[in-house]
Structure 1
């Protein structure tokens, strides 16, 4: 890890000094980052997508010396124990994180963190499902990974079967530590193109977790599972023109049957997944090129401007124009 970044993370901030003196939590977020209406409804503070205004992934060091109150969030979160240890309470379960452990928290999971000492460095990595492409999810599904069900679980109505967190404990000789340190270095050194590089590292990290940790089971994928994986792959490469009707003809199923099969296996409709992939591809072009928005829409297969802007705002909680300006600035 870069020595300058490590020293930055170890240094005691002004807010941490206040917590060290009082041993009480000091508010570390602006009012805009907290959804007050949802907080009242859920009786706990709800952190919103404020963190992703001009970036896809947000990273911070957890403040030490005071208990962090119970909270939840509208995004996915990783807690990585860089040094020392931490005690977290997740959905009323007590978890102990040691150096090298990684905790993946789903949208809506409630958790609190006990006070960290000066030697404890806990890193928060925040990201949304919008960061994860359909192509990547299809790879997870093909490998029958626990991560596939986890990353899509909050879209399924069966809440009782939902797992709100996954704990990955450190393994000797693991590549995960090196990948996470690359992510942290890129974020805090603020180099050119760091957002794109961090997104790539995140996909690498999740893939390494698939490789190094247990699968759901060792049984061979069913015929239906293989079919859904094939469809997800096709969406990832043919998103501009692919249709459910074409797929139904190709696989010799009725369109209605294939639609229901896909929804049952993925947790989202084919139309939702296709739109999601098109928006991700559009966002990538908006954030990495100067191509006009109308041309980008054409490139990803969306012709209706009103539909595009509406879905983009719902998906990214921003507009194409704002995202383009944030990149240019």
Structure 2
């Protein structure tokens, strides 16, 4: 990141000076930027997006920020340090390099930040990007996500936020740095550039990041659900060559027990799940590359071309080349 922008982000502004002296929160936006209903501050579209579709700011330090909600999506990026937030009544720790995505109308409060805690707020009103959209993308390519969403429907509803564990993914950090740099430089076409970066950022997040869902599942799901989750994670990683016997050995379970749990929790056999992951992987290549179909079939681990076509048509109601042409 440009050193001038970095210094600007660390600079102590006038509101921060007063908050640091008193420890008391000082509202950083005018009265017209929010409404108060039942003691909850609701930040309004009309103020933040009067002249632009994206609004970026550095969160003020040294005082607790009160509980509030939004009419828009908010992305919190922990550029440096860490912060504690109460989100929908649950305390979460956002660590350096991680991102928090809050859906519209979700509420949160933020504990006081220290000198070295730099939290960047990215507000946007792109109606095409929301938690449902993210879940849809992930579900298309992930047995694990499909399983977790199904479990949510059965009684553990998905929360209105996602924490992305993005700290050790340089490409995502580079995209975020570029977004911040474009915003603060405010050069010709900067707004357009940021609008183009956002879907790239979220697609990368979905593709490369573990989200809160996996940790949440391990915390609240039953033992048998966790056995199923571990198996699905293994299938996602090793679908090309994995067998029931090798999975049971790696996970430390009896083969028959593992087979029964998988069938009970997912409604599919182990082999059916492996084939489904192969089809998901193949479809991603069909939609996003120009590789010959035969090469894709071999790459995802199918030995029988006819079997692949049968499974693919059953899943997508069309043949691979038809699917590629429809994208």
TM superposition score normalised by structure 2:
0.58
The aligned residue for residue 141 of structure 2 is 143
The alpha-carbon deviation at position 212 of structure 1 amounts to: 0.6
Q: Give the one of 87, 90, 100 matched to 1:90.
A: 87
For residues 298-319 of structure 1, what are the alpha-carbon distances to aligned partners after superposition, in whole Å with 9 as ceiling and x for unaligned?
xxxxxxxxxxxxxxxxxxxxxx
Q: Secondary structure at the match of 2:106?
A: coil
Distance 2:145 2:129 in 1: 12
1:191 matched residue in structure 2: 187
* Deviation, structure 1 residue 110: 1.3
Which residue of structure 2 lines up, in the alignment, with residue 204 of structure 1?
Answer: 200
Which residue of 1 is the match for residue 55 of structure 2? Answer: 58
Q: 1:34 to 1:109 in 2, by over 3 A?
A: same
Change (3 A) 1:160 1:71: farther
Per the alignment, do residues 79 and 159 of structure 1 end up closer, same or farther by CA in structure 2, a change over 3 Å counting? farther
Match of 2:244 in 1: none
Q: Please show how residues 289-328 of structure 1 align to structure 2 within 5 Å.
A: none
The one-character-per-residue Cα deviations of 1:254-273 (angstroms, maximum 9, x if unpaired) are: xxxxxxxxxxxxxxxxxxxx
8 A Cα contact 2:165 2:210, kept in partner = no
**Number of residue-to-residue matches in the alignment:** 214
Q: CA RMSD in A?
A: 3.5
* Partner Cα distance (1:33, 1:160) in 2: 34
After superposition, where does 1:100-249 map in structure 2 within 5 Å?
100-130=97-127, 132=129, 142-143=140-141, 161-214=157-210, 220=276
Aligned match of 1:73 in 51, 70, 80?
70
Q: Could you list the runs of 5+ residues in structure 2 that have no partner in the other structure?
A: 147-153, 214-231, 237-272, 280-327
Partners in 1 of 2:24 and 2:4 — Cα distance?
29
| Secondary structure in structure 2 of the residue aligned to 1:60 | strand
In 2, the alpha carbon distance for the partners of 1:147 and 1:201 equals: 25
Name the structure 2 match of 1:5.
5
CA distance in 2 between counterparts of 1:114 and 1:193 reads 35
Contact 2:82–2:93 (Cα < 8 Å) also in 1: yes
Could you say which structure has the larger radius of gyration? 2
- Give 1:96 deviation, angstroms: 1.1
Change (3 A) 1:171 1:16: closer
Taking structure 1 as the reference length, the TM-score comes to 0.57
Task: Indicate how the Cα distance of structure 1 residues 147 and 90 shifts in structure 2: closer, same or farther if over 3 A, else same.
Answer: farther
Deviation at 1:109, TM superposition (A): 1.4
Residue 55 of structure 2 aligns to a residue whose secondary structure is strand
Which residue of the partner structure matches residue 35 of structure 2?
35
Whole-Å Cα distance in 2 between the matches of residues 201 and 69 of structure 1? Answer: 30
| CA-CA distance at 1:131 after TM superposition | 5.4
Deviations 1:177-209 (A, max 9, x none): 111010000001101111110011111110110
CA contact (8 A) 1:145 1:210 kept: no
The separation in 1 between residues aligned to 2:187 and 2:9, in whole angstroms, is 18
Segments of structure 1 that go 5 or more residues without pairing to the other structure are: 149-157, 224-329
Query: What residue is the counterpart of 2:303 in the other structure?
Result: none
Q: Deviations over 1:221-275 (max 9, x none)?
A: 8x9xxxxxxxxxxxxxxxxxxxxxxxxxxxxxxxxxxxxxxxxxxxxxxxxxxxx
